[in-house]
Amino acid sequence: MWEAAAFVGSYILGSIPFGYIVGKIKGYDIRKEGSGNIGSTNVFRVVGKKEGIFVFVLDFLKGFLPVLYFADISVLGGVLALLGAIAGHMTTPFLRFKGGKGVAAGFGGVVALMPLTAVLAFGIWVLLVGIFRRVSVGSLGAALSLPILYLFLAEPMLKSVLFISILIPILVFITHRKNIRKLIKGEEEPVF
């Protein structure tokens, strides 16, 4: 019962399209500007730095809060809450099931579920963004590091958490297909 509530409740919270809402308030349809993505990076580039940071915080919290709550009840509940928050962000019914890439919501959930792994993955993200100046490179690299870091840091090893740490990079790579093509062609925009 708790596990179903964890997924459904987190999906609903995760599906709130904060990037789209903030863009609309500022007079932009973020889906038609920049990369067309409703996430914080596109809001940062199109609408403004403050707005992009604000959207990142809101998207982070929609992953962090439900996972923190449900993981306290059961680890499986936390894992399902994380999956629900990411799925909600990526497939929001409020925008005809076309959402963001799930990175900020996923990161929030990972911080709640496996904090040390999340901190180290964030360090990898910062390093890669600093070197390559591309948020997508940082996101892809940090996502890839999750299962590796979890394998080295987890005591005890929990199969459900290992599963989600493997699934997240797969989802991140799927949602970053266009970015990967742009990176290969040398067309991906730098963040600074």
- Global pTM value: 0.93
Mind giving me the DSSP string for 109-124?
HHHHH-HHHHHHHHHH
Q: Hey, what amino acid is at 83?
A: L
**Distance (Å, whole) CA 168 – CA 35:** 22
Burial label, 81 (beta-carbon count in 10 A; 0-12, 13-18, 19+)? buried
Structure confidence by residue, pLDDT tens digits, 133-182: 999 999 999 999 999 999 999 878 899 999 999 999 999 999 999 999 99
